[in-house]
Structure 1
Amino acid sequence: MMKTPLWQGWWRLGDDAGLGADSRRAGLSNCFLIIIALTSLVYALVNAVYFEAFPLAAVELGVFVIVLLALVDMRINRNVERASWVTVLSCGGLSAFFYWYVKADVSAAVWTVFFAIINFFLLGTRKGLPVYLVFSAVLLSMIVYYRDTWPALASGAAWINVLGAMLACGAAAYYQERSREAAHERIEALANRDSLTGISNRRHFMQGFAQARQLLCHSGGKYSLVLIDIDHFKAVNDTHGHAVGDQVIKAIIRRIVSAVRAEDLVARLGGEEFCVLLLDCEGDDALRRAEGLRRVVASEPVTVGSLGVSVTISVGVADGNPRTRGFSEMFADADRRLYVAKSQGRNRVIASGSQGQ
């Protein structure tokens, strides 16, 4: 497959770049890097030719080179995190140097405010807040240290207005980004969680499975897939109603979650069917853990109001090497063994080597 030339689509990098959840940040980083590159180059030329401010022009030219390299790096390696940090540090460093070079002249205040937007939009609130506090502390230190020697700071109102504008813009950018993050987290929860039980849905489980497989391929570990189906669940719904059936499902999930390790993955595939991915576990160990799940579910009736509903589960187990066996192969084996468990009378576990499997 031919790679896209670096110059093709240089003005955009986002949803169509195969970056998934980072597509928004990639687009912003790309946009801000281009803006900073063009701005620093133009100002470097103006400051060198017109104002003869050679130290400032040299710094701006250095920022231009760094940002240009970051643009090329992001196009080649798709490292959005690195590009975001380069963007923020370049903008912050140049703004702080400019503020010092022009001795807190009002022309520098505009760039300090612009930094707040770039910082929080690219780094988010968790990483962006400490960076912005450090940036603000650097400017405040300059104001305190040079307040008696810089003419622009002779009036207290001047630097108070600068700090006020910085804090106000920073607070607004922080609030906007935090609101966006909260909305994104809610959307992620709706997309990845089963609405009834709160555990992972099939989509989220598949993502977790792929990540676990990748990690185990590097570590050399094994894994097992446990497929679970509630026995005679239709009869529970027909006898007691779907509201009771929902409570039974939630109770069974609580028992299963309490019986697995924190690193294992539990998901509801749909209806009364669930699955568990057991990490670093195979063979007899997987059979023992699956049998433990069966016992904990059957240990006592599920209480719903004044009702006591006795439930059991049938379980199929498949294990394998993550280097050679993926989800489709393991699911097919586990599903076949689950069918055997049901055909042999239910309330049992069938794994590799089990009688009749």
Structure 2
Amino acid sequence: MRTITGVRLICDSAKARGISVSDCLEGTGITEQDLQQDDLKLSSQQEITVIENYVALAKDSIGLGAEIGSQMHVNVFGIWGFAILTSPTMRTAFSTAIDYVQLSFVLAKLVFKETDEGGELVFDMSELPSAIEPFVLERHAMVTLNFFKEGVSQSVLSDLYLKTTISEPGHLKQLSDVLGIKVKGSMDCHSLVIPQYLLDLPRPKSDPVTLKFCLEQCDAMLSQELATEAQPNEEKLIEEKPWTERVKEVVLDDITIEKTLNMVASQLSVTERTLRRRLSEEGTTYRELYADIRLTIAKQLLEASCLNVDTVSWRVGYAEPASFVRAFSKKFGCSPGSIKKHC
């Protein structure tokens, strides 16, 4: 199961090209009105059908997948994306991505292996229709490159290259142009090749405490997903994602920035009033949820790192350390200084 986001991006691109959205959705059971429902979940087969329709309707299929992939940055993937982003190295990032791939938009099977050339992230599309392979390859490669671009120099990308089974020279040239990296054709698989030195290079946004929090959330979401799959009822078109989880994802996108209800509502494409109501229905308020997220991260930082109280206060978005100390003491019944790890 996956959110509507991927299909919505395809339909937006189709509309910009003068292609009928209803034609893109043909055979899926999804309506144009459904695209506005953020809580809608689809099966992978429904998304595959949309891609098949789009590729068949578009005049030039090269670049379609890269165009969609370029719009799929970390925040689009929620907790899964943040877990990858805060991993210490690309090696561990790939491991995290594969472990929790069910929480993503990935359609190909991901396999990571190491060869004499370096690390290879293989996109196994053996179970996908051949007509959509180029689209899926472009989208997956571009999304992976988006994660690479987070905090690293553009020059690093020149050391990466894509291997593909595609052999037509013109196609390979266009593919290289749209992705911005070298492409080697007539290979035995589709894979992104990463030099060895990049695999263990420290990631600029690595944060062990935030990563731990994200992985815990991923475990909880995956358990819920597996439990749902085990149910006998196979009709699971719509599955609501809790609003508390959506808010957590937005807040964790950059926890160092203090975020108002209006800012979060805007990122979730709802009004403040709607977000307030949704959270109330789930038994909480934005103020309570926001404080709980920040203070939980702060407590983990104090317990696991040598950061001082002022630094932790700033890291979780408090402008004034005094406000942080008061909020922390009220929630946990002790001062942040009393549990600070001493190094």
By the TM > 0.5 criterion, same fold?
no
Q: TM-score range by the shorter chain?
A: under 0.3
Whose RCO is larger (CA < 8 A, sep 6+)? 2
**Which has a greater percent of helix?**
1
